[in-house]
Amino acid sequence: MTMQNKRIIASILFVLISFVCEAQGVPGSMPPPPGPPPPPGFPIDGGLIYGMAFALFYGVKKLLLKRNN
């Protein structure tokens, strides 16, 4: 390895180590307060039942039309 390559690698490592050290934060600093609780999940109600009934009706209709042809 030439001297120039060694200097480039050393410079890159120095910059990367600097970023890692900066990411550690200030010792003794307080962590941020916890956020609010997440909202409740999406309710599964009548829409699911109507969708399943429609899918069943549509499937039966397709099967009957396929048998007739």
**For the segment 11-23, what is each residue's pLDDT rounded down to a tens digit?**
998 888 877 766 5
pLDDT at residue 27 greater than cutoff 90:
no
- Give the mean model confidence (pLDDT) for residues 52-61: 94
Under the banding of pLDDT at 50, 70 and 90, the label for residue 26 is low
pLDDT at residue 20, as a whole number: 73
pLDDT at residue 59 greater than cutoff 90:
yes
Q: Which two tokens stand for residue 36?
A: 């609010």
DSSP state of 26: -
Q: What's the Cα-to-Cα distance from 28 to each of 1, 12, 22, 25, rounded to whole Å?
A: 43, 30, 15, 9
Q: What's the Cα-to-Cα distance from 45 to each of 24, 42, 52, rounded to whole Å?
A: 47, 9, 12
Phi-psi category of 25—alpha, beta or left, where left has phi over 0 and alpha has psi -120 to 50?
left
pLDDT at residue 49, as a whole number: 84
